[in-house]
Amino acid sequence: MQRMGDFRLPPFFNYPPYFTLQPVRETREKQVQLWKDLILDYCKSQKIYIVSLEEDFPLFSNPKIERSLSYEAKEVFLSALVNEGRAEWMDKGHKKCLILWMRIQDWANYILNFVKENGLEDNVMTVEEIRSGIETRGTELEGIDRGVLMRALKLLEQKGKAAIFKGTSADDEGVKFSA
């Protein structure tokens, strides 16, 4: 089975029409579906949050069969994710896309679970600690996109499960979890 790094690629990754935007509606729907799934799987396994259309993205080309996605095709597949709430355009020009392989809601639940499992209720953690601290090592939170994390935390704050407060500098925000 073909691999990309430690990611296992499905057989149809070598199917040349997979890389050509299909003009027939039904065929395209199926193709878009397969691409959406693959992008989310890949980003999740590689902990990728941002996909730039103008830079090389390993998943969007297959050197083995010498095929790669056109700009238009990339935009179509990512837009499909955006429409489903699994991604967001980061600019009006649709050049960068934030991939939510876990929805904000799911992130919030994940954080809450993490806090409970580690007995961190009523503790204060800085945002940086969550992203790169020793406690979150080996979990999905390791290296989480700052923007995604902040939105998840704000969601928790709205629900009264956390309180965000500013530190001395803008980079140094803290969060206090409550059960």
CB-nearer residue toward other proteins: 3 or 92: 3
How far apart are CB 110 and other proteins at their closest, in Å? 23
Q: Is 1 exposed, middle or buried (0-12, 13-18, 19+ CB in 10 A)?
A: exposed
How far apart are CB 78 and other proteins at their closest, in Å? 18
Cα angle: 134, vertex 135, 137; to 5 degrees: 65
CB-nearer residue toward other proteins: 30 or 137: 30
Q: How many helices (H) and strands (E) does the chain have?
A: 5, 10
CB-nearer residue toward other proteins: 59 or 141: 59
How far apart are CB 54 and other proteins at their closest, in Å? 21
CB-nearer residue toward other proteins: 2 or 83: 2
Q: Which two tokens stand for residue 74?
A: 């990339």
CB-nearer residue toward other proteins: 70 or 158: 70
Where would I find the H helices in 68-163? Answer: 71-83, 104-117, 127-132, 146-158
How far apart are CB 16 and other proteins at their closest, in Å? 4
Buried b (16+ CB within 10 A) or exposed e, 70-108: eeebbbbbbebbbeeebbbeeeeeeebbbbbbbebeebb
CB-nearer residue toward other proteins: 14 or 139: 14
How long a stretch of residues is the chain? 179
> Residue 164: beta bridge partners?
175
How far apart are CB 140 and other proteins at their closest, in Å? 22
Which parts of this chain interact with other proteins (CB under 8 A)? 1-2, 8, 10-17, 19-20, 22-24, 26-27, 30-31, 33-34, 37-38, 64-67
How far apart are CB 33 and other proteins at their closest, in Å? 6
